[in-house]
Homo-oligomer: A and B are copies of this chain.
Amino acid sequence: MKTIFQDKPVEYPEKRPDGRPLKSILDVLLERRATSHFKPDPVPEQHLNAILKFAAQAPSGYNLQPWRFIVVREKANRERLQKAAYNQEKVAEAPVVIIAFALKDDWKNHIDDIFLEGVRRGYGKPEMVPGLKKMASDFLEHGISQPVWVNRHTMIAVTTMMLVAEAYGLDTAPMEGFDPQALGREFGLPENAEVIALLAIGYGESPDKVYGGRLALTEFVHDEHYGHPWNHEPDNPIPAIGEEIERHILEPVPA
């Protein structure tokens, strides 16, 4: 068994780099914007380490943790990354850009170590491991496509990373605009790599990008069954239909 494991984070900054307290997760979600331009100010090493260690605490199917990251901080490398990301300026501006990727079928190289580590920590009994492994392998080989599975899981860790960075008072920009082949060549990714997202982290140049609005709950949440719009929001009654909706939509938004 060669894989090295870590425990939950023990030492990590409990405040923002400027000493202010962490943002609450609700404030993070109210204030987070996809940052278009970054200042050159660096992200403190201890905060970056904490962001990575907390990202690792994300859940995954069978604890297989398929997410992999490349942390890009060197200027020359950020410029190479920018070229592989349709020349987006924020990629070269941000002091840290993380390439989130996964290796398809790489779970086969880690499943034994991960399951044995679980048993060692008291999760189940050794005699359960073969059955658990068969169940996981059947699902991963026949129940789902690898590109779907690695995207699904890697985004749990990427989202976690983004929200922790924001709670530390940093700004972020998640991106899916890149050329995966070019990026793979520049950063030495193996053939079975699936590049999933970029996440720039740093300090944004104001002003923030305008908030584009979100679909109402009635548009994307169904109540008990598909086709029954969610309508349990006491403080936000939904207009009936037709003209009333048109009027609601077209009324001016305060600047």
A residues with a Cβ closer than 8 A to B are 1-12, 14, 22, 24-26, 28-30, 32, 34, 45-46, 48-49, 52-54, 56-59, 61, 63, 65, 67-74, 77, 110, 114, 117-118, 120-123, 139, 144-145, 147-148, 151-153, 155-156, 158-160, 163-164, 167, 174, 176-177, 187-190, 193, 196-197, 209-227, 230, 232-236, 238-239, 245-246, 248-250, 253, 255
Q: B6 near A61 (CB under 8 angstroms)? A: no
| Chain B neighbourhood of A253, CB < 8 A | 120-122
Contacts A151-B151, A213-B117, A253-B121; A245 near B56 (Cβ below 8 A): no
Within the complex, the shortest CB–CB distance from A45 to chain B, in Å, comes to 6
| Chain B neighbourhood of A249, CB < 8 A | 1-5, 117
Write 9 A-B pairs (CB below 8 A) sorted by A numbering. Answer: A4-B218, A5-B215, A22-B24, A25-B164, A25-B167, A32-B59, A68-B222, A71-B223, A187-B226
Within the complex, the shortest CB–CB distance from A115 to chain B, in Å, comes to 9
A5 contacts which of B32, B210, B214 (Cβ < 8 Å)?
B214
Q: B211 near A121 (CB under 8 angstroms)? A: yes
Task: Please report the C-alpha to C-alpha distance between residue A232 and residue B110 in the assembled complex, in whole angstroms.
Answer: 23
A220 contacts which of B69, B209, B227 (Cβ < 8 Å)?
B69
Q: B160 near A213 (CB under 8 angstroms)? A: no
Chain B, Cβ-Cβ closest to A167: B25
Contacts A5-B214, A155-B152, A215-B56; A222 near B71 (Cβ below 8 A): yes
| Chain B neighbourhood of A250, CB < 8 A | 1, 120
Task: Please report the C-alpha to C-alpha distance between residue A214 and residue B72 in the assembled complex, in whole angstroms.
Answer: 22
Q: B29 near A12 (CB under 8 angstroms)? A: no
Q: B232 near A70 (CB under 8 angstroms)? A: no
| Chain B neighbourhood of A189, CB < 8 A | 226
Chain B, Cβ-Cβ closest to A253: B121
